[in-house]
Chain A
Amino acid sequence: MANLVLENLTIRYGGVTAVNDISIDVAAGEFLTLLGPSGCGKSTTLFSVAGLNHATSGIIRIGDKVLFDGSKKTFVPPEHRNIGLVFQSYALWPHMSVADNLAFPLKLRKMGRAERDERIKEALSLVEMLPYAERFPFELSGGQQQRVALARALVYRPSLLLLDEPLSNLDAKLRERARVWLRELQERLNVTTIYVTHDQSEALAVSDRVAVMSMGHLRQLGTPKDIYERPTDSFVADFIGSSNFLAGKLVESNSTHNVVELGNGVRIKTAPGSAKADGSLVVAVRPERIEVAPPATDNTIEVDIAGSTYLGSTYQYAVDVGGGELRILTPHEIQPGRVKVRIPPEATAVYADRPGEA
């Protein structure tokens, strides 16, 4: 059992910096998810851990075993890293049966026949695929292939398990079941796992910690609760869940709260946070935290309710307030007309930059 350490990992392709100075310490047995929009460098990071691409600089090590060190030109080839990897496309070898797919890594480790069969059986039962051992990959459904791929990655007992969007080819229902199952399996085996996805609900549901990435940078690393409730910048606030961003000017600032003047002149109390040099800032608040026609009278603004979007379990309203559009999510229908809404100060966060600018 060992932890995985990435220190100042940077990966460049020509002029493109796909991964920019990332440092992460993944504890032994931890389930860590790399989350971010398409092209942010998740797969690149993952594959550099696997040794399938070459990092430009930085250090990758498992425990005290250095896999890559840019300054010392250390590079352990992938086949010597003892890492399990599941690909988005599963990458089952089409010319080998399920059992042969699992046998291949074991044969490479010069394992005797009896032990090999034992291991294959064990791994296949773990993923509930034992009855399919003699099938060929093309004779399996997507979900079954995905489980075989997982068994293949686990059968040689890797010190680290890497998963690159393993559920993205499954349909929505199956995906939800599979992620629960995957997490239970991981906890049972207690294998250090790095999971890549661009699906935030998946990330929040399965992870011990989530690393949010954007354009090669690590934006925030924390527990699912952390990154949802206390996003450290406006990108994370925007990307995880969804947030309203209202432009304003800082009027008063102290350790417990700020007072901010919105574009229409209304002043509201917000959580503390710093503004730009000229005092401009954005206030982020989640649509579901906005209170409609509240009993309390502080921090309220008047808005005009017009059309609504019916979302099944909730209604969404978009209203115009000074400084931008405000989306409100509520379980109850609101009658059109003027209504008071309250922005609870404890539900706000203040950032100097808008999401795109940070």
Chain B
Amino acid sequence: MTDFSETRAKAPFIDRSQLIFWGVSILTAVLVIGPIAPIVIQAFLDKPLYAADAGATLANFGRLFSEAGMLAIFLNTLFFAVLTMVVAQVFGAVMAVLIGRTNLPGRAWFGEIFVWPLFVSNLVIAFGWFTMYGPSGFITLAFKSWFGLAPWDLYSIAGMGVVAGLSQAPLAFLMCLGAVTKADAQLEDAARSAGAGPFRALWSVTVPMMRPAIIYSAVLNFVIGIEMLAIPLLFGGPSGIQTITTFLYDQGINAAVRPEYGIVGAAAVILLIVVAFLVWLQGFLMKGSGRFVTVRGKASRPALLDLGAWRWPAFGIVFAFLFFTIITVFAGIFLRAGVSFLTPLVPFWKLLTTANFELIFSSANYMRSITNSIIISLVGAFIGTFFVTLIALVARRSEFRLGRPLEYLALFPRAVPGIIAGLGFFYAVVWLPGLDVVRGTIWILVLAFILRYIPVGFGTISPALSQIGEELDRGARISGADWWTTVTRIIMPILKPALFSCYALLFIHFFKEYVTAAFLFQPGSEIIGTTMLQLVAQGDNGPVSALATIQVIITAVFVFLARRVLGARIYG
């Protein structure tokens, strides 16, 4: 082995890695800026975007603020979002401590059930609540017949906020759970030996460790509250409570009747600025959270707290809570799908029918929305995973000079509410020449969904990527592989579990998405979510339930298979 060969041949003139770096970056930029630019431009134009004689103006903002009821809309949105956040954080954090750190009986099951709402859209959740707790809901009526009154009103901001908060609590729960279960046991042990009792140690040492998780998910849930459409639409609509999203939705949908592009643009820009600020604030608040980082090396798991005599009472309370806020809500959807009329006054088995499902199965439109949803999710999640992985690899694991800016750009969609992304793509296809080909097809939806969920995918890939030591790529480079070969032969194979998880997560998000599609679908490219929106508007509750049931079943099957076959990690 002494005949050492010469240094290998020079690099080819154009490096394919550079091509990929620039290609990925440009594509990301187009995808992110494409839908935002037309909205921002529209906000400052006096005529629709496509009008040749449109001129610059600031009047849209003036008109927006002088629009009747605008102040109420802003206040409603604010109050609704705050309530959503508070409810979600309180329930999420308490459940995290109970399930993660106590010997509550059945806690593994409770944890599983508690995250169900994350797998389905807010539209499905809202409809479930409506079915059970709405003014003529099953439980509402039952209460009224037993006690004479039902002390809740879903059609109020408080009602909306509680429902939205409970449907978002799992997000706070998962983040807090991560914090409390990964806490270094030695920290609590130190507090114990310093003289603190077990509860005191938990309260003073571990609960503060949840602070970054609480702050992070608080801002996330606040943002979700601001941009949520389904719950304000279903519950606020009948009682005339408008939020910024329902305002945009109504204005956007009614554009044909009363074209108010300027006002819509202005409202969208304000929403965009507020959300972008909140996302920035989130990053700002998380700065210096290193002092809460508790995971150091192979720390042992903290011990479980013995609830003692409180074990079974706590079990009862948690069970009742989950039963009434989650199990009943899902049961309501399934039940409603199987009967002609849901009421506590007549036993439901006397009203059993398959008519709702037959209606769905016999309608080409409804069936198409199901197949479209499946195709978009299967294919879109695949393309999305590939694209997000490329972004992460270029941003984190390449010599590309613009890696950091690329990452910022890729994470920007966190600040773009679904309704804005939808509206933006809607404008973009009208505005940008050449995009006509995807207009009204499911591919525009695929594009929009991918854009919207780049950050979600990035969030699964990038932690896994940082687990892979850089010497592995360096070792490949020095043994003669260029960047692309290193990525495909070394990093991606090691990253496989994360890629599967990313795929599964994107599938679920794409499958439940409806807001982004609301402005983009056309006859032929409808998805389950948009069809449900239409049916809800028409008050066809039977078919809505049937469709929702089908969506839940497909999701459940997918989650089961993804966990079993792909070994994907989805929410826990």
Contacts and interface: CB of A to CB of B under 8 A. Distances in A.
Interface residues of B, number: 29
A104 B476 CA distance: 8
Interface stretch (B99-107, B222-230, B402-410, B487-495): B487-495
B3 interface: yes
Interface string A51-66: 1100000000010010
Given A95-B493, A104-B481, A157 B3 contact: yes
B362 interface: no
Given A89-B471, A91-B472, A91-B474, A82 B485 contact: no
Contacts of B480: 79-80, 82, 105, 108-109, 156
B478 A83 contact: yes
Nearest to A77: B11
A85 B475 contact: yes
A95 B490 CA distance: 8
Instruction: Please indicate which of the listed interface residues A78, A90, A158 has the most CB atoms of chain B within 10 Å of its own CB.
Output: A78
B477 interface: yes
B5 interface: yes
Interface in A69-111: 76-85, 87-95, 104-105, 108-109
A126 B1 CA distance: 10
Contacts of A84: 478-479
A76 B481 CA distance: 13
A159 interface: yes
A109 B485 CA distance: 12
B478 A93 contact: no
B538 interface: no
B9 interface: yes
Interface in A1-34: 1-2
Nearest to A2: B4
Given A82-B5, A82-B6, A95-B494, A104 B479 contact: yes
B35 to A, nearest CB: 36
B8 interface: yes
B363 interface: no
Given A108-B485, A126-B1, A62 B7 contact: yes
A152 B481 CA distance: 14
A81 B8 CA distance: 6
A90 to B, nearest CB: 8
A88 B475 CA distance: 11
Interface in B441-492: 469, 471-472, 474-482, 485, 489-490
A50 interface: yes
Contacts of A88: 471
B1 A154 contact: yes
Contacts of A87: 471, 474-475
A2 B478 CA distance: 18
Interface in B7-21: 7-11, 15
A35 B539 CA distance: 79
Contacts of A105: 479-481
Nearest to B5: A157
Given A77-B482, A108-B480, A93 B475 contact: yes
Interface in A148-174: 152-154, 156-159
A57 B493 CA distance: 37
B312 to A, nearest CB: 45
A205 interface: no
A241 to B, nearest CB: 32
A314 interface: no
A79 B477 contact: yes
B11 A156 contact: no
A293 interface: no
Contacts of B472: 91, 93-94
A159 B478 contact: no
Nearest to B486: A79
A95 B496 CA distance: 10
Instruction: Please indicate which of the listed interface residues A50, A52, A123 has the most CB atoms of chain B within 10 Å of its own CB.
Output: A52
A76 B480 CA distance: 12
B66 interface: no
A156 B479 contact: yes
Contacts of A152: 475, 479
B2 interface: yes
Contacts of A47: 474
A84 B475 CA distance: 9
Given A76-B11, A87-B471, A95-B494, A159 B477 contact: no
Given A157-B5, A159-B4, A189-B2, A81 B478 contact: yes
Contacts of B1: 122-123, 126, 154, 157, 189
Contact of A191 (B4, B475, B493): B4
A85 B4 contact: no
A156 B22 CA distance: 32
A77 B9 CA distance: 11
Nearest to B480: A108
A104 B480 CA distance: 9
Given A76-B11, A79-B482, A81-B7, A93 B2 contact: no
A190 interface: yes
A154 to B, nearest CB: 7
Contacts of A77: 11, 15, 477, 482
B4 A78 contact: no
A123 B479 CA distance: 15
Contacts of A91: 469, 471-472, 474-475
A57 B33 CA distance: 38
Contact of A82 (B8, B475, B489, B490): B8
A88 B227 CA distance: 49
B8 A80 contact: yes
Contacts of B481: 79, 104-105, 108
A225 B481 CA distance: 40
Contacts of A83: 478
A50 B7 contact: no
Instruction: Please indicate which of the listed interface residues B471, B481, B493, B494 has the most CB atoms of chain A within 10 Å of its own CB.
Output: B471
B18 to A, nearest CB: 11
Contact of A79 (B478, B489, B493): B478
Contacts of A123: 1
Contact of A80 (B9, B474, B476): B9
B309 to A, nearest CB: 47
Contacts of B5: 82, 156-157, 159
Instruction: Please indicate which of the listed interface residues A67, A82, A109 has the most CB atoms of chain B within 10 Å of its own CB.
Output: A82
Contacts of A65: 6-7
B404 to A, nearest CB: 14
B399 to A, nearest CB: 8
B490 to A, nearest CB: 6
Contacts of B477: 51-52, 77-79
Given A65-B7, A104-B489, A157-B1, A50 B478 contact: yes
A310 to B, nearest CB: 35
Interface in A169-206: 189-191
Given A104-B481, A158-B4, A80 B11 contact: yes
25 contacts: A51-B478, A52-B477, A52-B478, A76-B10, A77-B15, A77-B477, A79-B477, A80-B11, A81-B8, A82-B8, A83-B478, A84-B479, A85-B475, A88-B471, A91-B472, A93-B476, A95-B493, A95-B494, A105-B480, A108-B481, A108-B485, A154-B1, A157-B1, A157-B3, A189-B2
Interface of B: 1-11, 15, 469, 471-472, 474-482, 485, 489-490, 493-494
Interface of A: 1-2, 47, 50-52, 62, 65, 67, 76-85, 87-95, 104-105, 108-109, 122-123, 126, 152-154, 156-159, 189-191
Given A156-B479, A156-B480, 11 more contacts: A47-B474, A51-B477, A79-B479, A80-B7, A84-B479, A93-B476, A93-B490, A95-B494, A104-B479, A157-B1, A159-B4
What 8 pairs across the A-B complex have the smallest Cβ distances?
A105-B479, A91-B471, A91-B475, A108-B480, A78-B477, A87-B471, A85-B478, A95-B493
